[in-house]
Amino acid sequence: MLTLELYTPSMSEKKPFVLRIAPEKLKALEKWAADEFRSTNGQIEYILDQALRKSGRWKTKQEDTDITG
């Protein structure tokens, strides 16, 4: 059985940055986040996490273990 261990950094480990986004995109993102019971920031992190994994640029600890044995 494969289980994935997700890394969730603490607030002190996260680096803040400014994101410029069109108001209509932000509104759509806020609605999407609310629909999935996430904060807007949490939704952005979720989307980025999924995109990074899909592209092979980010691996979970479990995937790293599977590769290195």
1-49 confidence digits (pLDDT tens): 555 566 666 767 888 989 999 999 999 999 999 999 999 999 999 999 9
Q: What DSSP character marks residue 57?
A: S
pTM for the whole structure:
0.68
Taking every pair of C-alpha atoms in the chain, what is the biggest distance, in angstroms? 46
**pLDDT value for 68:** 54
| Helix, strand or coil, per DSSP, at residue 12 | helix
Three-state secondary structure string covering 13-51: HCCCCCCCCCHHHHHHHHHHHHHCCCCHHHHHHHHHHHH
CB 5 within 8 A of CB 61: yes
